[in-house]
Amino acid sequence: MKKRILLLKVAAAAACCFLVLSPVQVLAQADTANLSVTEQSKKGLNLGALPAVAFDSDIGFQYGLLANLFQYGDGSGYPDYRWSLYAEWSRTTKGSGINQLFFDSKYLLPHQIRVTADFSFLTEQALDFYGFNGYESIYNSSFTDEEDPAYITRVFYRHERKLARITIDFQQKIGDLPLRWAAGYGFLNSRIGTVDIEKLNKGRDEEDLLPEVEGLYDKYVRWGLIPAEEADGGTHNFLKAGLVYDTRDNEPNPNRGIWSEMVIMTAPRFLGNNEAAYTKLALTHRQYLTLKKNTLTFAYRLGWQGTIDGKAPFYMQPYMINTYAKSTKNDGLGGARSLRGILRNRVVGDAFTYGNFELRYKFLKFHKWKQNFYFSLNGFSDMGMITKTMDMNLAGIPEEEKAGLFTSEDQGLHVSYGAGLRIAMNQNFIVAVDYGLAGDKRDGDKGMYINLGFMF
């Protein structure tokens, strides 16, 4: 069974890479003599589109389409665009799905006020859940390995979530300084529950059926580690305010400059947050250093995020806060957008810090099909740790279960490393493929990710 699943995963990843890469490769081989390394300005509308292809043994085969439309106007500001509209629609054969529209423009509103808006509905039959406080919660891969005597279920570390998300953010430059104010509003409606085993088992062979047993989420609810009023999710209306310092030479893939921000996100009671009112602070510093002009760049990101007032519900603790979030999923730490190679949502606490370090090498540039292309390789290392833990009262948990799920170990760094490839069209539409390895088996093994854009 495991070999068959692995082959399907590899085949799905290979199919996606082929669909992304083959047009560019054929193009380069067919007319090498006419390729130009001189980038040409773009005008008017420009569309980038890709099939969304993936496979997971428990949520099924993912299929769909993602597209990004750019309006460059008369081209005088290229690679800056007048506006951008991103859309994704995808489904899996077991009922999970992504429905997203993301809009961004510096020119729609007067007085150079930038507006970004996200409208998303995300359904996940099996969202990762590994407990709280990083290494204090033990990850045991044997519990999900059917060939191991300790096997419980493949979805032991999962729960179901349906998320409706609306965010609208504004930014405006302050005088002649490289400084902007930022403000925004967000609406999140989370519906959470145990994994629907009956639905996931539909159509399976007898030997592949998932057993009707408790997962980690169910145990946390039963033990009171997840309060009853939070267990099924909730609705949150929040406000954001912050300052952004930005000296980047360009946004999609900077060669030099600094991009730092301080953001406060608050969910006050007067906005209807009756079950939980809280405030979080996020600090992020990104810097880009040119090692060889337009070819080799070292980039890094340092961040800290934590609750500074009130008590955030467990399902809002992983939510990554920033002033510009184009990515579909804002969960962390762990996974495609934070710690590549480490299990998604592995590092969850009341406050955490993280760092990402990348060496980016543009090794091929050309102009063809009236489009500007470049290929880039990147090597990276990601790391993060809990700086403030969530309260967990373990007194009522049976000792035999406590020993296999919790430890009193001190918090340490969660580290991963890996490499990736970027294929960029007109600088803004960037296909990203990353392969990450976890530095510690307590954080999983490895991960492969196919997304759009650089992580930061």
Q: Which two tokens stand for residue 341?
A: 């190679």
The more confidently predicted of residues 34 and 172 is 172
Compute the distance between CA of residue 9 and CA of residue 296 in angstroms, rounded to an integer. Answer: 32
pLDDT digits (tens, 9 = 90+) for 412-453: 999 999 999 999 999 999 999 999 999 999 999 999 888 888
pLDDT at 14: 46
pLDDT at 25: 34
| Helix (H/G/I), strand (E/B), else coil: 129 | coil
Overall domain count for the chain: 1
Compute the distance between CA of residue 385 and CA of residue 349 in angstroms, rounded to an integer. Answer: 9
Asked whether the predicted pLDDT for residue 36 surpasses 90, the reply is no
Choose among 304, 252, 265, 167: nearest CA to 454: 252
Residue 132 maps to which CATH number? 2.40.160.50
Compute the distance between CA of residue 260 and CA of residue 257 in angstroms, rounded to an integer. Answer: 10
Residues comprising the chain, all counted: 456
CB atoms within 10 A of CB 63: 16
The more confidently predicted of residues 397 and 33 is 397
Question: Is 295 exposed, middle or buried (CB count within 10 Å of its CB: 0-12, 13-18, 19+)?
Answer: middle
Which of 177-191, 325-339, 378-392 has the least mean pLDDT?
Answer: 325-339
Which of 24-33, 61-70, 215-224, 340-349 has the least mean pLDDT?
Answer: 24-33
Choose among 188, 271, 267: nearest CA to 234: 188
Q: 26 falls in which pLDDT band (50, 70, 90)? A: very low
For residue 6, is the peptide bond before it cis, meaning its omega torsion is within 30 degrees of 0? no
Compute the distance between CA of residue 169 and CA of residue 114 in angstroms, rounded to an integer. Answer: 8
Compute the distance between CA of residue 187 and CA of residue 295 in angstroms, rounded to an integer. Answer: 41
The residues near 277 (Cβ < 8 Å, ≥ 6 apart) are: 267, 268, 269, 310
Question: Is 270 exposed, middle or buried (CB count within 10 Å of its CB: 0-12, 13-18, 19+)?
Answer: exposed
Domain that holds residue 402: 2-452
Compute the distance between CA of residue 311 and CA of residue 321 in angstroms, rounded to an integer. Answer: 16
Compute the distance between CA of residue 72 and CA of residue 252 in angstroms, rounded to an integer. Answer: 14
- DSSP class of residue 136 equals G
Q: 279 falls in which pLDDT band (50, 70, 90)? A: very high
User: Average pLDDT for residues 12-18, to the nearest whole number?
Assistant: 46
Compute the distance between CA of residue 279 and CA of residue 35 in angstroms, rounded to an integer. Answer: 53
pLDDT at 430: 92
pLDDT at 30: 33
- DSSP class of residue 202 equals T
User: Average pLDDT for residues 346-362, to the nearest whole number?
Assistant: 97
Asked whether the predicted pLDDT for residue 51 surpasses 80, the reply is yes
The secondary structure of the chain in percent helix, strand, coil, rounded to multiples of 5, reads 15, 45, 40
| Helix (H/G/I), strand (E/B), else coil: 19 | helix
Q: Which two tokens stand for residue 56?
A: 């997971």
Compute the distance between CA of residue 189 and CA of residue 198 in angstroms, rounded to an integer. Answer: 25
pLDDT at 55: 64
The more confidently predicted of residues 409 and 147 is 147
State the maximum Cα–Cα separation within the chain, in Å, rounded to a whole number: 73
Q: Which two tokens stand for residue 212?
A: 């009707």
b/e 170-192 (16+ beta carbons within 10 angstroms → b): bbebeeeeeebebbbebebebeb
Asked whether the predicted pLDDT for residue 288 surpasses 50, the reply is yes
Compute the distance between CA of residue 150 and CA of residue 153 in angstroms, rounded to an integer. Answer: 10
pLDDT at 103: 97
pLDDT at 95: 76
Q: 94 falls in which pLDDT band (50, 70, 90)? A: confident
pLDDT digits (tens, 9 = 90+) for 357-382: 999 999 999 998 889 999 999 999 99
Q: What is the mean pLDDT of the chain?
A: 89
pLDDT at 9: 44
Asked whether the predicted pLDDT for residue 286 surpasses 50, the reply is yes
With pLDDT > 70 as the criterion, what percentage of the chain qualifies? Answer: 90
pLDDT at 328: 74
User: Average pLDDT for residues 69-86, to the nearest whole number?
Assistant: 93
Compute the distance between CA of residue 54 and CA of residue 433 in angstroms, rounded to an integer. Answer: 13
The more confidently predicted of residues 115 and 38 is 115
Compute the distance between CA of residue 221 and CA of residue 228 in angstroms, rounded to an integer. Answer: 7
Which contiguous run of DSSP H or E holds residue 122? strand 113-128
Q: First vs last Cα of the chain: how many Å apart?
A: 37
- DSSP class of residue 222 equals H
Which of 58-67, 343-352, 418-427 has the least mean pLDDT?
Answer: 58-67
pLDDT at 29: 33
Compute the distance between CA of residue 327 and CA of residue 325 in angstroms, rounded to an integer. Answer: 6
List 63's β-bridge partners, or say none: 91
pTM, rounded to two decimals: 0.89
With pLDDT > 90 as the criterion, what percentage of the chain qualifies? Answer: 73
User: Average pLDDT for residues 343-370, to the nearest whole number?
Assistant: 95
pLDDT digits (tens, 9 = 90+) for 210-224: 999 999 999 999 999
Q: 35 falls in which pLDDT band (50, 70, 90)? A: very low
Question: Is 340 exposed, middle or buried (CB count within 10 Å of its CB: 0-12, 13-18, 19+)?
Answer: buried
Q: Is residue 303 a contact partner of residue 260, using CB atoms and an 8 Å limit? A: no
